[in-house]
Amino acid sequence: MLYISRGEKFDKKLCNALMACVAMVIVTFSLLIAQANPTFLQSNLLSKRLFAYSLLNNFSNVIIGVLLILIGYQIKGNIKLIKKYVYIYVVNLLIFIGLFLWTRSFTIQNLYDAVLPITRNTYPIVLGAISALLIKDKLKNWFKKYRFPVILSGYAIVFALPSIFNKDIFGIGNGNNAITAFLLVTLGIVFSNVEVDKLHIDKKVITLMSISVMLNITLALSMPFISWRIRGDFSTAYRFNVLTSISVVAMSIVIFTVGQKLKTNIKISEYIGLLLLLVYSNNFIIEKIVNGSISLKVLLFKSCIVSIIVVVLGWLLSKIDKRNLTLEERLLLNDDKSINLWGRNLISYIITNVKKYRFNIMNIIFLYILAYVSFILMSPDFSAPHLGKDHTNIFFYTFFVRQHMLILNTMLFYLLYRFIYGIIGRFWISIILNYAVIAVAM
């Protein structure tokens, strides 16, 4: 009996792993097809491939919805999630470098997206998910004040109204944003307050769940035809194939609930889940993976490769996370700390270091001013004539439009200072020489 039990557990884990891999392939394959934009998506003709893609696209969003709910339901919320975000940031930078070496092409905007992900909104779903988990304990206590059906009704209103009226009432867009991720992860936190596997599900609930699934599939299959019939094109063919569609959210809840009732015990690896969200929300990764390919077989093969890479990277990051505690010490991370206490400690730590390195900070500020002046001196009459508007002020244009270039120039000036300092070893002499070189160059 013991060997049978162990065998059954192994089979269950293997089945769960295969389901997770298939789900990742579906999500990636859908994204690659959308980016490749093959002929059947460009033409205004109905085809079997078009209907199949619509269903595939719908299911990929359902999978992401289930993943976000599972993340909120399973992953423990603590301050150490900040370290996980740092690891995801580093991995994204490495992916950027790897894809650049593979494709030999990138734009300066792609570089800024990789270096400044929060301000450039590079992978908002990852940020939204981690933000919700950081305050999971507070959200759990707050949700306990309200009955479960009341909370679900609130979620139904938030997702149903935009879907029905086709207007972005609450600013949640198509779902690729931090707000949607935050909402779906908090929905998983709501489910963590109740014992889902012990919830009473009567015939009415089963009927409602069945209707939700059938409605979602029906909308995914029928909307291309309806759009073509009414508008003559496919402009609204994928209206309900977004993460914020009420039909997609409802089906995600149904799959999550059924999975918990059947005790599938699918455990989400924190890093694998976050990496899949990274691939889903970072357009640069999908764009470079496609790299001109339009063959569905090639795209499917690439989807399988991407899924394997996600699993391997997730496994490596989990191993590194357990062994490397240096980053936790540097970021002042501790399981016992709340986000508020950590924030106060971090502010105190920053103030201490600002006082300690005040001359270096003043040097960086002055280098930023020099970078700003170098842009100003490029315009003899203090305008931006290259925009075709003679009245455009170069001062405002440089600061508000070319801010990323200012930051990049400041970094280059600072690297030049570090180079000189590495040779001479004298702080003030290195600074003076650095300023002199920059002044001559301007």
- pLDDT tens, position by position, 319-348: 888 877 677 777 767 666 667 777 787 788
Express each pLDDT in 7-61 by its tens digit. 566 666 677 778 888 999 999 999 999 999 888 888 888 889 999 999 999 999 9
Instruction: Report helix, strand or coil for 44.
Output: coil
Q: Give me the pLDDT at residue 262, please.
A: 76
Question: What's residue 195's pLDDT?
Answer: 75
What pLDDT, on the 0 to 100 scale, is given for residue 2? 43
Model pTM? 0.83
At 58-95, the pLDDT tens digits run 999 999 999 999 999 988 888 888 889 999 999 999 99
Distant-in-sequence, close-in-space partners of 439: CB < 8 Å, separation ≥ 6? 370
Q: What is the DSSP letter of 397?
A: I
Q: How sure is the predictor about 121, in pLDDT bands with cuts at 50, 70 and 90?
A: confident
**What are the Cα distances from residue 238, in Å, to 31, 34, 48, 177, 425?**
14, 11, 15, 18, 62
Give the model confidence (pLDDT) of 123-133 as tens digits: 999 999 999 99
Given a cut of 50, is residue 4 above it in pLDDT?
no
228 pLDDT more than 80: yes
**What share of the chain has pLDDT > 70, as a percent?**
91
What is the spatial distance between Cα 148 and Cα 193, in angstroms, rounded to a whole number? 9
The Cβ of residue 40 has, within 10 Å, a number of other Cβ atoms equal to: 17
Task: Choose the weakest-confidence range: 41-55, 235-249, 384-398.
Answer: 384-398
pLDDT in tens, 341-359: 777 877 888 888 888 888 9
CA distance 226 to 229: 5
**Beta bridge mates, 383:** 393
The mean pLDDT value for 87-116 works out to: 88
